[in-house]
């Protein structure tokens, strides 16, 4: 018998320490609810679950972002609902003004309401606000970093609708003031247009912007080139007849897909300035929008030049003015409808996006839970085992420590 080394006690103590360590880990997992509390518990599992947690956080925030985007869209859409209503009212007023039973005083009264409706359209557009963003305003959504106005660009709102780079939805702001609506629509202008003759064939020469605008309208199927040619031909033919000019039976005007306009067999009809004016007016109206002519060009630059039905001159046909305004407003209604349709499509997409994000977040959370969370039943069984083993080891350590007492009987 030896007393310097109590091997049974040492063995019992080692097992007791091991069991208490296991018991401590069991208590930690049961109290925290996590199977992995530190990298030592499962290094690979920790790395995978942390990556999943990052993705889950991104998915949840992307869901919130998408809901915010829907809020912005609904704010815009609500404002444009009233804009549409006012444009519809303007159509009614312009049609009313076109009736020959109204005198100048009556039309002036109608014009007052038209102007007030235009003012309200501007007010709504410039004051529709979502968290400091004014997506329908005239210039607040078109400034560079230095504060300079950049009318060639629109507010581009990029919505982050996913947890990774590139998962975005772009929504462009749109100037929905009266001036902005017609500015976007009036892309073909008679300004700078001249009628020239080359080898007896007349050609309508215009600036590249108007030519390119016609080309775009044709390519987007917003303008039929054959119908456009007929409209120009009829306008000129009617003006020539009123001017007492003889019109060649084969006279025609054609519009090509590249936006250019050519005239054939015109004879001498364009020697009359009124006929030239009829051609340029009809050309100006190809995009469906045309400024009223009853006022000097500088009198209205706020969009109201497109909704003027009254006239300061007795030579102006007020019925024609009113009909022009009806056509202008119809184009404006279509323009607002197009933007509202875009907003509606974006909202519907975002609603599906939110559903997908929520499902993905749910499934990723479940996967992360399977890796990181504690199986309480399993852990409780392990705790019970380690608790019993710990108590048994403690008891056996006490017994092992007592086994050396037998040596004392040999020393008596």
Whether residue 144 has pLDDT greater than 50? no
Average pLDDT in the 25-31 region?
91
Considering only 191-200, 256-265, 324-333, which range has the smallest mean pLDDT? Answer: 191-200
Provide the pLDDT for residue 269: 87
Whether residue 367 has pLDDT greater than 90? yes
Instruction: Provide, rounded to the nearest whole percent, the portion of the chain with pLDDT above 70.
Output: 89
Classified as helix, coil or strand, 132 is coil
Average pLDDT, the chain: 87
Whether residue 151 has pLDDT greater than 90? no
Whether residue 270 has pLDDT greater than 90? no
266 vs 192 pLDDT, higher one: 266
Structural tokens at position 252 = 């025609």
Nearest alpha-carbon partner for 244 in 265, 263, 269, 267: 269
Average pLDDT in the 249-263 region?
89
Provide the pLDDT for residue 210: 85
Whether residue 145 has pLDDT greater than 50? no
Distances (CA, A) of 62 to 58, 73, 164, 172, 355: 6, 16, 10, 19, 11
Whether residue 302 has pLDDT greater than 90? no
Q: Is 352 left (phi over 0), alpha (psi -120 to 50) or beta?
A: alpha
Q: What is the full DSSP assignment across 45-72? A: HHHHHHHHHHHHHHHHHHHHHHHHHHHH
Average pLDDT in the 327-335 region?
94
Classified as helix, coil or strand, 198 is strand
């Amino acid at each position: 018998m030896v007393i310097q080394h109590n091997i049974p006690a040492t063995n019992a103590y080692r097992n007791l320490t091991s069991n208490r360590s296991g018991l401590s880990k069991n208590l930690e997992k049961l109290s925290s609810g996590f199977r992995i509390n530190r990298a030592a518990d499962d290094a690979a599992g920790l790395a995978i679950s942390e990556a999943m947690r990052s993705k889950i956080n991104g998915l949840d925030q992307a869901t919130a972002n998408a809901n915010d985007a829907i809020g912005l869209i609904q704010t815009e859409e609500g404002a444009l609902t009233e804009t549409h209503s006012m444009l519809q009212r303007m159509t009614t007023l312009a049609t009313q003004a076109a009736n020959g039973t109204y005198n100048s005083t009556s039309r002036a009264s109608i014009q007052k309401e038209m102007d007030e409706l235009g003012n309200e359209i501007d007010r709504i557009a410039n004051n529709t606000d979502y968290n400091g963003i004014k997506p329908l305003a005239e210039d607040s959504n078109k400034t560079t970093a230095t504060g300079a106005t950049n009318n060639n660009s629109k507010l581009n709102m990029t919505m982050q609708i996913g947890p990774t780079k590139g998962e975005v939805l772009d929504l462009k702001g749109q100037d929905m003031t009266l001036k902005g609506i017609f500015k976007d629509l009036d892309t073909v202008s008679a300004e700078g247009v001249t009628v020239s003759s080359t080898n007896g064939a007349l050609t309508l020469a215009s600036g590249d912007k108007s030519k390119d605008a016609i080309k775009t309208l044709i390519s987007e199927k917003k303008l039929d080139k054959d119908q456009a040619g007929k409209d120009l031909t009829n306008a000129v033919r009617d003006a020539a007849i009123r001017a007492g000019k003889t019109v060649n039976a084969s006279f025609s005007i054609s519009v090509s897909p590249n936006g250019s306009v050519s005239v054939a067999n015109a004879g001498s009809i364009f020697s009359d300035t009124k006929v030239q004016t009829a051609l340029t007016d009809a050309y100006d109206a190809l995009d469906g929008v045309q400024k009223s002519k009853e006022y000097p060009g500088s009198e209205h630059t706020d969009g109201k030049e497109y909704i003027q039905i009254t006239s300061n001159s007795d030579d102006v046909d007020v019925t024609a003015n009113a009909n022009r305004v009806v056509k202008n407003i119809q184009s404006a209604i279509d323009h607002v409808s197009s933007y509202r349709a875009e907003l509606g499509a974006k909202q519907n997409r975002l609603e599906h996006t939110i559903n997908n994000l929520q499902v993905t977040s749910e499934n990723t959370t479940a996967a992360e839970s399977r890796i990181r969370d504690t199986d309480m039943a399993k852990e409780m069984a392990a705790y019970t085992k380690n608790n019993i083993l710990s108590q048994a080891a403690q008891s056996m350590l006490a017994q092992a420590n007592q086994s050396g007492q037998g040596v004392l009987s040999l020393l008596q």
